[in-house]
Amino acid sequence: MNRNKTFPRLLALFLALAFSVGCAGVGGNDAGTQTPAGKLLPTPIVNVTAAPRPDGTLRGYLEAWKADDYASMYNLLTPENQQTISLEEFDKKYRAAMNALTLSALQYEILSVEAASPAVAEGRFRVTYETNLFGNFQREMQISFRIVSGLWRVEWNDGLILPELAGGNRLSMDYQTPPRGVIYDRPLRANQEKRPFVAQTDAYAIGLVPTNILPEQEPTLLSELGILLGLYPIQVLPIYDNRRDVYWYIPVGEAPASEVERRLGRLSSISGLVLTPYTARFYYGNGIAPQTVGYVSAVPAEEVDKYLRKGTSPAARVGRAGIELWGEQYLAGKTGGTLYVVKPDGSLTQLAQAASQPASDIQLTIDRDFQVQVQRALEGFRGAIVVMERDTGRILAMASSPKFDPNIFEPNNANSPDGIQTVFNDVNRPLVNRAAQGQLPLGSVFKVITFAAALESGTFTPDLKLQCGYEWTGLADKIRYDWTWERCQKELAATGTCRTQPSGELTLTQGLMRSCNPWFWHIGLDLYRQGRVTAIADMARAFGLGQPTGIGVIDESAGNITNPAGEVEAVNQAIGQGDVLVTPLQVARFMAAIGNGGTLYRPQLVEKIIAPDGSETTVFKPEAMGTLPLKPETLAALQKAMREVIINPRGTAAHRFRGMQTPIYGKTGTAESGSGLPHSWFAGYTDAQNPDLPDIAIAVVVENIGEGSEYATPIFRRVVEIYFTGQPRTLFWWEANFGITRTPTPFGFEGTATIEAQQNP
pLDDT tens-digit map of 641-669:
999 999 999 999 999 999 999 999 999 99
**What is the reported pLDDT for 743?**
52
Mean pLDDT of the 162-172 span: 96
* Whether 606 and 748 share a structural domain: yes
Q: Which of these, 540, 543, 530, lies nearest to 575 by C-alpha position? A: 540
Residue 429 lies in a domain: no
* Whether 64 and 184 share a structural domain: no
Q: Which residue among 150, 167, 184 closes a domain?
A: 167
* Whether 163 and 234 share a structural domain: no
Mean pLDDT of the 414-438 span: 96
| Domain ranges, residue 18 | 3-167
Cβ(394)–Cβ(366) below 8 Å: no
**What is the reported pLDDT for 28?**
37
Residue 434 lies in a domain: no
% of the chain surpassing 90 pLDDT: 85
**What is the reported pLDDT for 652?**
97
**What is the reported pLDDT for 400?**
98
* Whether 646 and 696 share a structural domain: yes
* Whether 598 and 719 share a structural domain: yes
Higher pLDDT, 41 or 325: 325
* Whether 152 and 282 share a structural domain: no
Residue 313 lies in a domain: no
CA angle 365, 366, 368 (to 5 degrees): 140
Cα 222 to Cα 237: distance, rounded to the nearest angstrom? 7
Half-sphere exposure of 66 (CA within 13 A, CB side): 15
Outline where DSSP puts E strands in 191-257: 196-208, 250-256
* Whether 491 and 468 share a structural domain: yes
% of the chain surpassing 70 pLDDT: 91
The DSSP bridge partners found for residue 138 are 128
For 686, which DSSP code? E
* Whether 256 and 337 share a structural domain: yes
If one counts every other C-beta atom within 10 angstroms of the C-beta of residue 635, the result is 18
Residue 749 lies in a domain: yes
- According to DSSP, the β-strands at 616-619 and 504-507 are unpaired
* Whether 145 and 201 share a structural domain: no
**What is the reported pLDDT for 740?**
77
If one counts every other C-beta atom within 10 angstroms of the C-beta of residue 539, the result is 23
Helix crossing, 447-457 with 632-647: angle to 10°? Answer: 140
* Whether 515 and 647 share a structural domain: yes
* CATH number for 96: 3.10.450.100
Mean pLDDT of the 568-579 span: 97
The DSSP bridge partners found for residue 278 are 203
Residue 601 lies in a domain: yes
Q: Residue 518, preceding bond cis, omega within 30 degrees?
A: no
Cβ(406)–Cβ(290) below 8 Å: yes
Q: Count how many domains the chain has.
A: 3
Q: Which of these, 130, 165, 161, lies nearest to 351 by C-alpha position? A: 165
Cβ(280)–Cβ(234) below 8 Å: no
Q: Which residue among 152, 167, 182 closes a domain?
A: 167
* Whether 203 and 334 share a structural domain: yes
Mean pLDDT of the 719-743 span: 89
Q: Over 80: is that where the pLDDT of 753 sits?
A: no
* CATH number for 644: 3.40.710.10
Q: Which residue among 167, 200, 232 closes a domain?
A: 167
Q: Over 80: is that where the pLDDT of 44 sits?
A: no
Cβ(637)–Cβ(462) below 8 Å: yes
Residue 400 lies in a domain: no
- According to DSSP, the β-strands at 196-208 and 250-256 are antiparallel
* Whether 163 and 175 share a structural domain: no
**What is the reported pLDDT for 37?**
38
Burial of 176 (0-12, 13-18, 19+ CB in 10 A): middle
Mean pLDDT of the 43-71 span: 77
pLDDT band at 242 (very low <50, low <70, confident <90, very high): confident
**What is the reported pLDDT for 304?**
95
Residue 624 φ/ψ region, left for φ over 0, alpha for ψ in the -120 to 50 degree band, beta for the rest: beta
Q: Over 50: is that where the pLDDT of 420 sits?
A: yes
Residue 715 lies in a domain: yes
**What is the reported pLDDT for 647?**
98
Q: Over 60: is that where the pLDDT of 39 sits?
A: no
Residue 599 lies in a domain: yes
pLDDT tens-digit map of 504-557:
999 999 999 999 999 999 999 999 999 999 999 999 999 999 999 999 999 999
Cα 230 to Cα 224: distance, rounded to the nearest angstrom? 10
Does residue 294 sit in helix, strand or coil? coil
Cα 595 to Cα 589: distance, rounded to the nearest angstrom? 10
Cβ(560)–Cβ(526) below 8 Å: no
pLDDT tens-digit map of 178-234:
999 999 999 998 888 999 999 999 999 999 999 999 999 999 999 999 999 988 888
Cα 605 to Cα 295: distance, rounded to the nearest angstrom? 16
Burial of 649 (0-12, 13-18, 19+ CB in 10 A): exposed
